[in-house]
């Protein structure tokens, strides 16, 4: 019975629909016009969502770049303080030997302190003196020593000299420390601020280009820290990475694309490459720690280990890009070579590889750029050590640019914030350069067959 009723209902509904269909639609009716308007509005809204999404993404990029740029640009300048230094022979070279060893061991720090005490003679108490010495960086004495070693005739003279200032004074001069806030809430007390003001009034404070940032290694003192050590470490690490991953990656790609029979081994290799490309980078760090350090006992913190670890990470990128490039070489080239009597290996080395090389190089550069920005696996293998010396080879302890950024970002000193941002700018500049090169290569050698 119920079946019958529902059947009747269905029939009735079907009749309504078919009646409606048979009725011609009045496209000019206000109802339809409203509907179309609504649909078009929906269309515009939808399009707007897309634009907004892209806008948000680009805004995020802009804010990122802007916040780093605005924090970091000041790191390229450093505050210097002018002081009148007396190169007292009694301190530098009491016996007048002129021996560089004697001069090198002299107490230049004392000279600077002496000059500071003379500049502010009213400072007497111990703690005040300690604050006073903070005006000039601890590294200034090395500069002074070099100056005297270069020019021994300075001994006995009195000169006004620009000395690198301590990080707190640098921050004050750059406006990062607000002297108007409550004394307890800032790193410098009122007396130190007043010294600063006196020096400024005397024209004895100046910002100079901070070349030390590009030439020195890491330091606990922000004003003495530089990125050169990390840059050299990055260079050695990338060198090892490139030397391993490029030949291995290209050979593997050639094999898989040109010679490999379709069998189980090839299949396993392909699955493995795809999975390796998606393994989190930190897992590679664990691998490096276990295999290279615990089993093979390679030196900790060395670029060689970093390079070996990063090579495994870059390998899938290079293999995938190389395979795509090799695949893009048309079969007619191979057939022509084979037809002229070249062996399969000759065909590949003489014809396919040279034609695929731009694509392979593009992929390699992109892989290297990734390796340059990689941090996490290097933390695992001990490249986070505090290293002052510039590494002299791939076996010396070193750190790399991104790890240096991580280390500085963790430092409590306010002045390291600008150093970190500046180091990021340098790192990004390298990345832009590398990616630009890749794009250029692709544009220049791109060939449509």
Partner 1 sequence: MSLSFLLLAVAALCALSFYFGRQRAVALSGGRHSNLHSLPVHYGAYTAAWCGLPALFLLLIWYCFQGSVIEALIVSDLPQEIVSDSGRLSLALNSISLIADGNGQHLTVEPEIVDAGRRLANIQTIANAALVVVMLSGAVLGLSLSYRKITADMRARNNIERIARYVMIACSAIAILSTVGIVFSLLFEALHFFTKINPLEFLFGLEWSPQTAIRADQVASEGAFGAIPLFVGTLLITLIAMCVAVPIGLFSAIYMGEYASPKFRAVAKPALEILAGVPTVVYGFFAALTVAPFLRDNGAILGLDVSSESALAAGLVMGVMIIPFVSSLSDDVMSQVPKSLRDGSYGLGATKSETIRNVIFPAALPGIVGAVLLAVSRAIGETMIVVMAAGLAANMTANPLQAVTTVTVQIVTLLVGDQEFDSAKTLSAFALGLVLFLVTLGLNVFALKVVQKYREKYD
| DSSP conformational letter for 84 | E
Q: Are 161 and 141 in contact (CB under 8 A)?
A: no
Q: Is 329 in the site for partner 1 (CB under 8 A)?
A: no
Q: Which is nearer to partner 1, 31 or 45 (CB)?
A: 45
Binding residues for partner 1 restricted to 376-405, rule: CB under 8 A: 376, 379-380, 384, 393-395, 402-403, 405
- Bridge partners (DSSP) of residue 85 are 159
Q: Is 409 in the site for partner 1 (CB under 8 A)?
A: yes
Q: Compute how many residues bind partner 1; rule: CB under 8 A.
A: 92
Q: Are 365 and 271 in contact (CB under 8 A)?
A: no
Neighbouring residues of 351: CB distance < 8 A, sequence distance ≥ 6: 329, 333, 334, 336, 337, 342
Binding residues for partner 1 restricted to 355-374, rule: CB under 8 A: 369, 372-374
Q: Which is nearer to partner 1, 16 or 439 (CB)?
A: 439
Q: Is 47 in the site for partner 1 (CB under 8 A)?
A: yes
DSSP string for residues in 263-306: SHHHHHHHHHHHHHTTS-HHHHHHHIIIIIIIIS-PPTT-HHHH
DSSP string for residues in 193-227: HHHHHHHHHTT-EEEEE-THHHH----SSGGG--S
H/E element, 161: strand 158-164
Q: Which is nearer to partner 1, 154 or 409 (CB)?
A: 409
Token pair recorded at residue 296: 């093979």
Q: Which is nearer to partner 1, 111 or 348 (CB)?
A: 348
Shortest distance, CB of residue 442 to partner 1, whole angstroms?
A: 12
Binding residues for partner 1 restricted to 254-273, rule: CB under 8 A: 254-256, 259-260, 266, 268-269, 272-273
Question: Exactly one of 7, 8, 13, 60 binds partner 1 (CB under 8 A); which one?
Answer: 60
Distance, CA of 223 to CA of 165 (rounded, Å): 8
Question: Exactly one of 148, 420, 426, 441 binds partner 1 (CB under 8 A); which one?
Answer: 420
Question: Exactly one of 284, 347, 387, 415 binds partner 1 (CB under 8 A); which one?
Answer: 284
Other C-beta atoms within 10 Å of 208: how many? Answer: 11
Q: Is 287 in the site for partner 1 (CB under 8 A)?
A: yes
Q: Is 279 in the site for partner 1 (CB under 8 A)?
A: yes
Question: Exactly one of 69, 406, 414, 437 binds partner 1 (CB under 8 A); which one?
Answer: 406
Q: Is 324 in the site for partner 1 (CB under 8 A)?
A: no
Q: Are 157 and 89 in contact (CB under 8 A)?
A: no
DSSP string for residues in 2-60: HHHHHHHHHHHHHHHHHHHHHSPP-TTSHHHHHHHHHHHHHHHHHHHHHHHHHHHHHHH
Binding residues for partner 1 restricted to 199-258, rule: CB under 8 A: 247-249, 251-252, 254-256
Shortest distance, CB of residue 447 to partner 1, whole angstroms?
A: 20
Q: Which is nearer to partner 1, 207 or 327 (CB)?
A: 327
Q: Are 399 and 218 in contact (CB under 8 A)?
A: yes
Q: What are phi and psi of 383, to 5 degrees?
A: -85, 15
Question: Exactly one of 123, 154, 324, 428 binds partner 1 (CB under 8 A); which one?
Answer: 428
Encoded one letter per residue, x for contact with partner 1 by CB under 8 A and - for no contact, window 5-44 reads ----------------------------------xx-xx-
């Amino acid at each position: 019975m119920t079946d019958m009723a529902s059947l009747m209902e269905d029939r009735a509904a079907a009749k309504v629909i078919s009646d409606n269909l048979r009725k011609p639609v009045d496209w000019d009716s206000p109802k339809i016009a409203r509907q179309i308007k609504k649909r078009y509005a929906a269309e515009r809204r939808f399009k707007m969502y897309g634009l907004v999404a892209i806008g948000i993404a680009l805004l995020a990029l802009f804010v990122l770049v802007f916040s780093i740029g605005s924090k970091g640009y000041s790191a390229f300048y450093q505050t210097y303080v002018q002081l009148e230094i007396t190169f007292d022979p009694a301190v530098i070279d009491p016996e007048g030997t002129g021996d560089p060893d004697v001069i090198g061991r002299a107490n230049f720090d004392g000279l600077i302190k002496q000059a500071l005490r003379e500049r502010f003679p009213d400072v007497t108490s111990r703690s005040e003196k300690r604050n006073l010495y903070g005006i000039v960086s601890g590294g200034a004495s090395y500069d002074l020593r070099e100056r005297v070693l270069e020019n021994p005739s300075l001994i006995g003279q009195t000169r006004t000299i620009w000395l690198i200032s301590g990080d707190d004074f640098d921050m004050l001069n750059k406006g990062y420390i607000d002297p108007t806030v409550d004394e307890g809430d800032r790193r410098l007390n009122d007396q130190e601020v007043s010294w600063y003001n006196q020096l400024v009034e005397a024209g004895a404070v100046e910002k100079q280009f901070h070349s030390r940032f590009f030439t020195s290694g890491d330091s606990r003192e922000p004003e003495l820290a530089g990125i050169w050590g990390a840059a050299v470490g990055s260079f050695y690490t990338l060198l090892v990475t490139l030397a391993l991953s490029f030949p291995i990656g290209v050979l593997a790609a050639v094999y898989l694309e040109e010679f490999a029979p379709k069998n189980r081994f090839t299949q396993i290799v392909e699955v493995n490459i795809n999975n390796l490309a998606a393994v989190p980078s930190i897992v590679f760090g664990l691998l490096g720690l276990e295999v290279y350090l615990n089993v093979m006992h390679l030196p900790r913190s060395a670029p060689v280990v970093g390079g070996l670890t990063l090579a495994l990470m870059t390998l899938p990128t290079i293999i995938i890009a190389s395979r795509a490039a090799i695949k893009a070489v048309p079969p007619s080239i191979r057939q022509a070579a084979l037809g002229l009597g070249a062996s399969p290996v000759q065909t590949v080395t003489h014809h396919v590889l040279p034609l695929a090389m731009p694509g392979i190089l593009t992929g390699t550069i992109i892989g290297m750029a990734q390796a340059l920005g990689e941090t996490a696996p290097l933390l695992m293998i001990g490249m986070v050590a505090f290293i002052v010396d510039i590494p002299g080879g791939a076996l010396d302890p070193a750190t790399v640019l991104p790890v240096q950024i991580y280390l500085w970002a963790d430092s409590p000193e306010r002045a390291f914030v600008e150093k970190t941002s500046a180091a990021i700018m340098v790192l990004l500049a390298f990345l832009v350069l590398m990616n630009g090169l890749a794009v250029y290569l692709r544009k220049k050698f791109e060939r449509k067959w």
